[in-house]
Amino acid sequence: MKKNQQLLSLASDVMEKAYAPYSKLNVGAAVITPTGNIYLGCNVENISYPCGNCAETSAISAMVAAGEYKISRIAIVSNGNFEIKPCGACLQRIKEFSTSKTEIITLTPDNKIKTYKISELLPTPFEEF
């Protein structure tokens, strides 16, 4: 549990750096790999909405840029008054680098930690044939 709190704290710190002038919804993500390395990302909006990046995408991109390709856990937080979960596109991105043990960690509005397996949030992913 302590490791989940550390990831949530790091995600919260990077959330403060998000660029979200349109939605005002700052999101932060922290990925930890099997090697123990942690990669951070925040959302970056753009006036042309499809051109923005989600926090999860940013963290995964940092992980890949460092030469790692497996996610052990990913924590996601926001400044919204609701439990933030990855969007469909980010769930598919997380799945790409997941194992059956990969955990997605979120916070409820009353600061309770929730943990999900990728299969719970994305039960029918797009996969190779």
* Residue pLDDT, tens place only, 56-107: 999 999 999 999 999 999 999 999 999 999 999 999 999 999 999 999 999 9
Distance (Å, whole) CA 5 – CA 10: 9
Task: Check residue 127 and give its pLDDT.
Answer: 83
Band (pLDDT 50/70/90 cuts) for residue 1 is low
pLDDT at 25 over 70: yes
Task: Please give the angle made by the CA atoms of 41, 72 and 109, to the nearest 5 degrees.
Answer: 60
How far separated are the first and last CA of the chain, in Å rounded?
A: 37
Look up the CATH number of domain 2-121: 3.40.140.10
Residues identified as active-site = 56
**Token pair listed for 44:** 């970056």
C-alpha span between 118 and 92 (Å, rounded)? 9
Looking at the chain, the whole-number percentage of residues with pLDDT higher than 90 is 91
